[in-house]
Structure 1
């Protein structure tokens, strides 16, 4: 399951709460929402809460990869929020190959994750 999380006063950042095993239906619901954010802001900022994440179905993984390839340059900041060592390691590895900035935050630092993802860096 993926639920959309929006914060009052923060319209440039989209939150996603993941729980259980992610499915194709989850991606069918979430992809149009993300595409609208990209259309509105040019690039996407995400806060992905993986507190109760328990894997992904093969078809959903394909949906995710297909979207990521199509929107490779659309990612600006992605905050991964979790509590497992593998989530932190996955974030470090993904940051090496991802266009945009990816950062891991412990579950207790979720507010910091939102602040970081929504902040506009000075050029």
Structure 2
């Protein structure tokens, strides 16, 4: 399930991913991201992952297609969760985007929000 969070304001899209994620979740989330990109040019993303059970292949495909098409449309991405693969994802994403991508643990939520919303230096 993808849930848009109330912290989504201005050029920030904040959402929580939990449980089972399928294409329907992306059908809701991707238009929000596209609208923010259209409105602001480049956006920041806060993605909190809690107890993610699985992604369907269709959901993963939608995510990858969007990410490649919009790789230059992100300033910062804060990935928040305890999963070890988030460290790997942070490193693996670097060659494919100009965004600064950083991993935070769940107890660092506020630090992640502060970082992703802070102006570029």
Using the size of structure 2 for normalisation, the TM-score is: 0.91
Q: 2:104 matched to which residue of 1?
A: 105
The 1:36/1:56 distance shift into structure 2, 3 A limit, reads same
* SS of residue matched to 1:11: coil
Aligned 8 A contact 2:43 2:75 in 1: yes
Aligned 8 A contact 2:19 2:51 in 1: yes
Instruction: Please report how far the alpha carbon of residue 62 of structure 1 lies from its aligned counterpart in structure 2 after TM superposition.
Output: 0.9
* SS of residue matched to 1:30: helix
Aligned 8 A contact 2:79 2:104 in 1: yes
Q: Supply the distance in 1 between the matched residues of 2:94 and 2:75 (Cα, whole angstroms).
A: 12
Q: 1:5 matched to which residue of 2?
A: 5
Q: Supply the distance in 2 between the matched residues of 1:7 and 1:84 (Cα, whole angstroms).
A: 22
Q: Is 1:15 the counterpart of 2:18 in the alignment?
A: no
Instruction: Please report how far the alpha carbon of residue 35 of structure 1 lies from its aligned counterpart in structure 2 after TM superposition.
Output: 0.7
Q: 2:79 matched to which residue of 1?
A: 80
Q: 1:49 matched to which residue of 2?
A: 48
How many matched pairs?
121
Instruction: Please report how far the alpha carbon of residue 84 of structure 1 lies from its aligned counterpart in structure 2 after TM superposition.
Output: 2.0
Map Cα deviations across residues 32-77 of structure 1 (whole Å, 9 max, x no partner): 1011111111112011001222221001111111111211210110
**Structure with the higher strand share, 1 or 2:** 1
The runs of at least 4 consecutive aligned structure 1 residues that moved more than 3 Å come to none
Structure 1 unmatched ranges of 5 or more: none
Q: Supply the distance in 2 between the matched residues of 1:97 and 1:56 (Cα, whole angstroms).
A: 21
Q: 2:30 matched to which residue of 1?
A: 31
- CA-based RMSD of the aligned residues comes to 1.5
